[in-house]
Amino acid sequence: GAVVSQHPSRVICKSGTSVKIECRSLDFQATTMFWYRQFPKQSLMLMATSNEGSKATYEQGVEKDKFLINHASLTLSTLTVTSAHPEDSSFYICSAVGGAVESEQYFGPGTRLTVT
Amino acid sequence: GNSVTQMEGPVTLSEEAFLTINCTYTATGYPSLFWYVQYPGEGLQLLLKATKADDKGSNKGFEATYRKETTSFHLEKGSVQVSDSAVYFCALSEGRGGNKLTFGTGTQLKVEL
């Protein structure tokens, strides 16, 4: 099946610094990638939809200047958490869709961000 | 807007017990419905799906039937195994999954010997 990777799997950073998370589709071209945030024992909350070559579409309440998303190629999307604070600590998950609009979403394994 | 409600966990069962995890939804149109499973330390994997009313999704012994009249998509398995221990998420999308998903809060299942 289709494989999506995320890097890093875990990252610890200091408050005020920026962190970049990569999401790659390894064996297919992803026209659309989604970024989710998962709090402990809670559901996945969609943050933004990323389409290759265009600006990301952010969900209501998500700060686009804080969570920068770049989808520069059909196999790579990046999420940069700028000026991170402890409340940004969370599990960030991406998913990728390839081919037709109605095809399945394939999820990455997630990135655990801890801001100290 | 769309929403998904699923039973809170954790659910603890003995091996070979019958499993039901309830899921109900609210949607404006005719959504597709999904169950995803998240094993410890791993990403979400699609377990099964149904795209229209009365469809039954099935995989690995798990089943769920799209019930439009009760807006439900309950997950069932006749005999669980220890290896089924994971978190299960019910979800919907307006399309077939390529569109954005709305998730329930997840239900943790623990299966003991």
Instruction: Check pLDDT > 50 for residue A75.
Output: yes
Beta-carbon separation of A101 and B97 below 8 A: no
Phi and psi (nearest 5°) for B84?
-85, -5
Whole-angstrom distance, CA of residue B66 vs CA of residue B56 = 6
Instruction: Check pLDDT > 70 for residue B60.
Output: yes
Whole-angstrom distance, CA of residue A34 vs CA of residue B10 = 28
Coil vs helix vs strand at B65: strand
What is the structure's pLDDT at A1? Answer: 64
Beta-carbon separation of B97 and A103 below 8 A: yes
Is the bond into B40 cis (omega within 30 degrees of 0)? no
DSSP conformation letters of chain A = ---EEEE-SEEEE-TT--EEEEEEESSS-EEEEEEEEE-TTS-EEEEEEEETTS--EEPTT--TTTEEEEEEETTEEEEEE-S--GGG-EEEEEEEEESSTTSPEEE---EEEEE-
Min Cα distance B107 → chain A (Å) is 9
Question: Percent of chain A beyond pLDDT 70?
Answer: 95
Sign of CA dihedral B97, B10, B16, B112: positive
Q: Which of A49, A102, A104 sits opposite B100 (nearest CB)?
A: A49
Instruction: Check pLDDT > 90 for residue A39.
Output: no
Find, among B56, B43, B27, B23, the residue nearest to B86 by Cα: B43
Instruction: Check pLDDT > 80 for residue B95.
Output: no
pLDDT for B12-50, tens place per residue? 999 999 999 999 999 988 899 999 999 987 888 999 999
| Under 8 Å between Cβ of B50 and B33 | yes
Give B99's strand partners: none
CB pairs under 8 A between A and B: 59
Which stretches of chain B sit within 8 Å of chain A by CB? Answer: 36, 41-46, 89, 95-106, 108
Min Cα distance A41 → chain B (Å) is 8
Find, among B14, B41, B44, B42, the residue nearest to B110 by Cα: B14
Question: Percent of chain B beyond pLDDT 90?
Answer: 79
Min Cα distance A77 → chain B (Å) is 16
